[in-house]
Amino acid sequence: MLAAYVESPNFDDPLSALVVGERPDPVVPEGWSLVRIKAASLNRHDIWTLQGISQHPLTMPITLGCDGAGTLDDGSEVLLYPAMTTAGWCGDETLDNYSVFSELYNGTQADYVVVPDRNIIAKPASMSFATAASLGTAWLTAYRMLFTKSQLRPGMTMLIQGASGGVSTALIQMGRAAGMTVWVTGRSAEKRAHAEALGAHQTFPPGETLPRRVDAVFETVGEATWAHSLASLRRGGTMVLAGMTSGNDPAANIATIFIEQITIAGSVLGTLEEMRNLIDFVVTADITPTVGLSLPLEDAVAGYRDMWADKTNGKIVFTR
């Protein structure tokens, strides 16, 4: 089968580690199912994998891709919940030593993927495969950040650091639909204009002082925006933290955190229940995740190249 995979990670030049080529068809273990992939989306996580960065030891070669949608043998249309728990785990999946596709098990950027049966969710008939493949990692993470972790209520003001990425665009679209005042930083006028077209009420260049301090900041950028995020929060506000794309070494500014009584809420992915709630929310609120680039899997290199060059505009999707 065709797959995008990595055989020899390269930290400094991750694109050189990407192979799009033939891999053996998968064997289906007991309690798992074979999904014929129709669409798989790209996440920053795939760049980390090409660099050899992973929560779990990687066995090479490994097929890339955390998210996907496709069909089962009987033709039913499905999408995938990305977190796989350890045997016997009950409760919040994100509190387990879970893995996502492309860590311990092969990923979704291929003709076929095998998945535990509990990770299979029926795709709403009205939803495209590209939308369904976008709802995994980035949108689920954004959903939990916004609705489970942020303590925001409709009418409050949120600041999203970063305008154009998968998590950022999901936060913009869902925040707007949920009745928040949505403020966004973006690194170019084009990215800020795109965020406004998606529903942001106001946008700002990175680091610009805001008209007033906000109720919650959504932080996935890390080092480059950390100081601005802390300075932008009102007393008693919440920083929801789910990533560090630009680096892991900010000056913590401990005094500001306790004097301003800031809650720092770490967040990863979401539970299976949150995934089901997310699907219902986007259907009910009539939200279509922004897909900036859709390519056949054969041309996956071009999608990876765009993400590595920070040229994202919502999700990047590979189709079959």
Ligand X SMILES: NC(=O)c1ccc[n+]([C@@H]2O[C@H](COP(=O)([O-])OP(=O)(O)OC[C@H]3O[C@@H](n4cnc5c(N)ncnc54)[C@H](OP(=O)(O)O)[C@@H]3O)[C@@H](O)[C@H]2O)c1
- What does the binding site for ligand X look like in residue numbers (CB under 6 A)? 43-45, 137-138, 141, 162-168, 186-187, 191, 220-221, 224, 242-246, 267-269, 307, 310, 312
70 or 162: CB nearest ligand X: 162
Residue nearest to ligand X (CB): 165
Locate 143 and state its tokens.
Answer: 């959903």
Q: Minimal distance in Å, beta carbon 71 to ligand X?
A: 25
Q: Minimal distance in Å, beta carbon 191 to ligand X?
A: 4
83 or 233: CB nearest ligand X: 83
Q: Minimal distance in Å, beta carbon 125 to ligand X?
A: 27
Q: Count the neighbouring beta carbons within 10 Å of the beta carbon of residue 94.
A: 18
Q: Minimal distance in Å, beta carbon 156 to ligand X?
A: 21
Q: Which of 72, 54, 80, 212 is nearest to 137 (CA)?
A: 80
36 or 201: CB nearest ligand X: 201
10 or 71: CB nearest ligand X: 10
Identity (one letter) of the amino acid at 210?
Answer: L
Sign of the Cα pseudo-torsion (66, 149, 273, 312, in order)? negative
**Number of Cα atoms under 13 Å in the Cβ half of residue 199:** 22
224 or 227: CB nearest ligand X: 224
Q: Minimal distance in Å, beta carbon 12 to ligand X?
A: 16
63 or 271: CB nearest ligand X: 271
- Find where tokens 């802390």 sit: 230
User: What SS3 string covers 187-250?
Assistant: CCHHHHHHHHHHCCCEEECCCCCCCCCEEEEEECCCCCCHHHHHHHEEEEEEEEECCCCCCCCC
Identity (one letter) of the amino acid at 25?
Answer: D
Q: Minimal distance in Å, beta carbon 114 to ligand X?
A: 23
Q: Minimal distance in Å, beta carbon 58 to ligand X?
A: 16
238 or 267: CB nearest ligand X: 267
